[in-house]
Chains A and B, each alone.
Chain A
Amino acid sequence: MLPLALSGVAISFPGLAQPVLSIDGLAVPAGGRLAVTGASGSGKSTFVNLVSGLERPDTGAIRWRDTDIATLSESRRDRWRATNVGLVMQDFHLFPGLAAIDNVLLPARLARAATAEIKARALELLSRVGLSRPNQSVETMSRGEMQRVAVARALLRRPGVIIADEPTASLDTEAGAEVGRLLLELADQEGATLIVVSHDERLTERLDRRIRLAAGRVVADTAAEVSP
């Protein structure tokens, strides 16, 4: 369970005058539930990339408890992300040709972290997300099932934070609701901080706090409304 603190974070892309994202201060307590909304182009994806360490800001600090990932090298951010972040993406990013269980284990295997305990956990997680056939090949699954495999993969190494980028956007309503429910439920059970970027209101409404981005800035924050 990791608390997040952003301070003075800004990132620009070459050729663009305005920073793509600029956040003066944002704090999420350990175990917090944060929803990030906004129109496309508002900086949501950049937010995900920054807090997950995929990208480094031009200025500012991104602190997950004591680690400022803005200061880490690319390889070290990779390693930090592998152990601390569970990512769930809109497009699942499962690997065809591999069974569900192998997809769940793949990142851990590539990082040489697939111990017997991790393997047992992978099986357990698959059953917790409601998949009873771990050896089923992912190409034969429905989109909802695929995203559930991705959720199991995200939780495998007991990450301190789960970051989901539009986890329900490519699913039908029913499957989306199920994945949303699983994310909240599992984040609770695992005690992980949860950050969900989504425009799916039925999902975001269920989170403690919602911020809305526009043109790279936080323009609305439910926490600010409650205690100004």
Chain B
Amino acid sequence: MIRFVFADLRRLWAASLVIVLLVALATALGVAVTLQERALRLGSARAADKFDLIVGAPGSETQLVLSSVFLQPAALPLMPGEVLTKLIADPHVAWAAPIGFGDNFIGYPIVGTTTALISGTTTGFTKGQMFAHEGEAVVGSGVDLSVGTEVKPMHGAAGEGGETHADSIYHVVGKLQPTGTAWDRAILVPIQAVWHIHGLGEDHDHAGEANADHNAAAEGGEEHHHGHIDADAPLDESFSRDVPGLPAILVKPKTIGDAYTLRQTYRTTEGTRAVFPAEVLTSLYATLGDARTVLMYVAYGAQTLVAAALMLIAVIHVAQRRKQIGALRAFGAPRFAVFGIVWLELLLLVAIGVGAGFGLGYGAAEFLAGLFTAQSGVHMPVEFTTSDAVLAATFLTVAALMAALPAALAYRQSPVEALRG
């Protein structure tokens, strides 16, 4: 029977190919949506994994998370620098590190931070070492710069262009191992360098009033009080006094209990806001899930249309081959064999289509994830789970049931009438 089915499909290869393609595309649509949404969810969750608690100034929680975890350029309001001083001294805190944005270099965001954050969120260096002086920089694995390269910061967020800080140059001293997060595409420099470039924190008397306007959070085009890096100055990460305003602080609490205590404290404190990125992401996932649901309905619609078209094709096909089917019976093929042939041919085509559709959907999701990763640095794990196997099994079960209809038509066909026609 199998031999006959294959010979038949080979003979009708063009029509078979079209059917396989139809099924594959309809399947791929659903698979790609599912995989892409899952990848986005997993990828962003993993990217936020090391970011336990973010403290910032009051404003959009979502924006605070997007800007600090995913380094999305945006003008964040600043909170007073003393918050950092207080956090570092807090017994609930393992470590707390400032995150300062504002400059970029050939499209890579330059993020001012501390050695604590780098050690706490990465797995180490593939080359070189941690910055030890103000004029040194560490790059993420996704930054196409090698150790020893000079980095001339441009003011403004990545992609916006803007003026260069002509007299300030960082030297790349280390390259980090990949983390699969947006920070893979970042150039990390000592926060004190960011402050100095923007003329903050140097002149302690001046610093307090400078906070309001001269922040590190991307407002291009204004008149700036420019300073420059003191490249050989040693790192100062004590932050014990006169810290300039900050857009975000990453906090590593000692325990989960501490995390909740800290969030409670800094949520209610005047001028600050504390968020769990995981929590913000969860609400974003709900939206993402809604979008996925809509797209899945579109995919289901497409699949239903294809299924209906296939039924039509199958029924017409059986009618067209009445004569052949009748002959099979006349020459001694049992009825169930006739049923089996029609059923198997259809099921085989659908199975190949579903298989190809899963491949195609996976490919599409991988491609999109690749584009997304190239742009954001966030690694998007495109992976199948058991639920996909269930989906494939469901497709095949439905196909098996639907193929039974034309097969039954063939089964019921009287050989005499077929031969007479």
Q: Which residues of A contact B (CB under 8 A)?
A: 45, 49, 52, 54-55, 74-75, 78-79, 81-83, 85, 87, 89, 93, 95-98, 102, 106-111, 153, 157
9 more CB-based (< 8 A) A-B contacts, given A52-B330, A109-B1: A54-B416, A78-B333, A81-B330, A82-B331, A95-B4, A98-B3, A98-B7, A106-B331, A111-B333
Q: Which residue in A54, A75, A97, A106 is a CB contact (below 8 Å) of B335?
A: A75
Give bound CA distance, A226 to B328, whole Å.
Answer: 40
Proximity string of chain B (326-349) to chain A, C-beta cutoff 8 Å, 1 when within and 0 when not: 011111111101100100000000
Q: Are B331 and A153 in contact (CB under 8 A)?
A: yes
Q: Does B204 contact A (CB under 8 A)?
A: no
Q: Are A111 and B337 in contact (CB under 8 A)?
A: yes
Q: Does B415 contact A (CB under 8 A)?
A: yes
Q: Are A93 and B327 in contact (CB under 8 A)?
A: yes
Q: Are A106 and B333 in contact (CB under 8 A)?
A: yes
Give bound CA distance, A54 to B415, whole Å.
Answer: 7
Proximity string of chain B (1-41) to chain A, C-beta cutoff 8 Å, 1 when within and 0 when not: 10110011011000000000000000000000000000000
Proximity string of chain B (301-345) to chain A, C-beta cutoff 8 Å, 1 when within and 0 when not: 000000000000000000000011001111111110110010000
Write the nearest CB–CB distance from B346 to chain A, whole angstroms: 17
Write the nearest CB–CB distance from A115 to chain B, whole angstroms: 15
- In the complex, chain A residues whose CB is within 8 Å of the CB of B331: 82, 87, 93, 106-107, 153
Q: Are B329 and A96 in contact (CB under 8 A)?
A: no
Q: Are B7 and A110 in contact (CB under 8 A)?
A: no
Q: Considering residues A87, A97, A110, which has the most beta carbons from chain B within 10 angstroms of its beta carbon?
A: A110
Q: Is the interface of A mostly helix, strand, loop or mixed?
A: helix
Q: Which residue in A54, A96, A110 is a CB contact (below 8 Å) of B330?
A: A54
Q: Are B334 and A78 in contact (CB under 8 A)?
A: yes
Contact status of A45 and B330, CB under 8 A, knowing A78-B335, A98-B4, A110-B337: no
Tell me the nearest residue of chain A to B3, going by C-beta.
A102
Contact status of A97 and B8, CB under 8 A, knowing A89-B419, A109-B1, A111-B337: yes
- In the complex, chain B residues whose CB is within 8 Å of the CB of A107: 328, 331-333
Tell me the nearest residue of chain A to B9, going by C-beta.
A97
Would you give 17 A-B contacts (Cβ < 8 Å), ordered by A?
A74-B335, A75-B335, A78-B333, A81-B332, A82-B333, A89-B330, A93-B324, A95-B7, A106-B331, A106-B333, A107-B328, A107-B332, A107-B333, A109-B3, A110-B1, A110-B4, A110-B332
Q: Considering residues B11, B324, B335, B416, which has the most beta carbons from chain A within 10 angstroms of its beta carbon?
A: B416
- In the complex, chain B residues whose CB is within 8 Å of the CB of A82: 331-334
Tell me the nearest residue of chain A to B6, going by C-beta.
A97
- In the complex, chain A residues whose CB is within 8 Å of the CB of B415: 54
- In the complex, chain A residues whose CB is within 8 Å of the CB of B416: 49, 54-55
Tell me the nearest residue of chain A to B337, going by C-beta.
A110
Q: Are B4 and A109 in contact (CB under 8 A)?
A: yes
- In the complex, chain A residues whose CB is within 8 Å of the CB of B4: 95, 98, 102, 106, 109-110
Tell me the nearest residue of chain B to A83, going by C-beta.
B332
Q: Which residue in B8, B10, B324, B333 is a CB contact (below 8 Å) of A110?
A: B333
- In the complex, chain B residues whose CB is within 8 Å of the CB of A52: 330
Q: Are A111 and B1 in contact (CB under 8 A)?
A: no
- In the complex, chain B residues whose CB is within 8 Å of the CB of A111: 332-334, 337
Write the nearest CB–CB distance from B236 to chain A, whole angstroms: 82
Give bound CA distance, A83 to B420, whole Å.
Answer: 23
Write the nearest CB–CB distance from B400 to chain A, whole angstroms: 20
Q: Are B330 and A87 in contact (CB under 8 A)?
A: yes
- In the complex, chain B residues whose CB is within 8 Å of the CB of A110: 1, 4, 328, 332-334, 337-338, 341
Write the nearest CB–CB distance from B117 to chain A, whole angstroms: 68
- In the complex, chain B residues whose CB is within 8 Å of the CB of A85: 332
- In the complex, chain A residues whose CB is within 8 Å of the CB of B11: 96-97
- In the complex, chain A residues whose CB is within 8 Å of the CB of B333: 78, 82, 106-107, 110-111
Q: Considering residues A54, A89, A108, which has the most beta carbons from chain B within 10 angstroms of its beta carbon?
A: A54
Give bound CA distance, A107 to B335, whole Å.
Answer: 11
Contact status of A157 and B332, CB under 8 A, knowing A96-B11, A97-B7, A110-B337: yes
Give bound CA distance, A150 to B415, whole Å.
Answer: 18
Give bound CA distance, A102 to B324, whole Å.
Answer: 16
- In the complex, chain B residues whose CB is within 8 Å of the CB of A81: 330, 332
- In the complex, chain A residues whose CB is within 8 Å of the CB of B330: 52, 54, 81, 87, 89, 93
- In the complex, chain B residues whose CB is within 8 Å of the CB of A109: 1, 3-4
Write the nearest CB–CB distance from B37 to chain A, whole angstroms: 44
- In the complex, chain A residues whose CB is within 8 Å of the CB of B323: 93
Write the nearest CB–CB distance from A71 to chain B, whole angstroms: 18
Q: Are B332 and A95 in contact (CB under 8 A)?
A: no
Give bound CA distance, A109 to B324, whole Å.
Answer: 16
List B141-195 residues whose CB lies under 8 Å from chain A. Answer: none
Q: Which residue in A78, A106, A157 is a CB contact (below 8 Å) of B329?
A: A78
Tell me the nearest residue of chain A to B13, going by C-beta.
A97
- In the complex, chain A residues whose CB is within 8 Å of the CB of B324: 93, 95
The 4 closest A-B pairs by CB, nearest first: A82-B332, A93-B327, A110-B333, A97-B11
Write the nearest CB–CB distance from B332 to chain A, whole angstroms: 3
Q: Are A108 and B332 in contact (CB under 8 A)?
A: yes
Q: Considering residues B1, B330, B420, which has the most beta carbons from chain A within 10 angstroms of its beta carbon?
A: B330
Proximity string of chain B (389-421) to chain A, C-beta cutoff 8 Å, 1 when within and 0 when not: 000000000000000000000000001100110
Give bound CA distance, A78 to B4, whole Å.
Answer: 19
- In the complex, chain A residues whose CB is within 8 Å of the CB of B1: 109-110
Give bound CA distance, A146 to B284, whole Å.
Answer: 69
- In the complex, chain B residues whose CB is within 8 Å of the CB of A55: 416
Write the nearest CB–CB distance from A62 to chain B, whole angstroms: 15
Give bound CA distance, A79 to B334, whole Å.
Answer: 7
Give bound CA distance, A54 to B8, whole Å.
Answer: 25
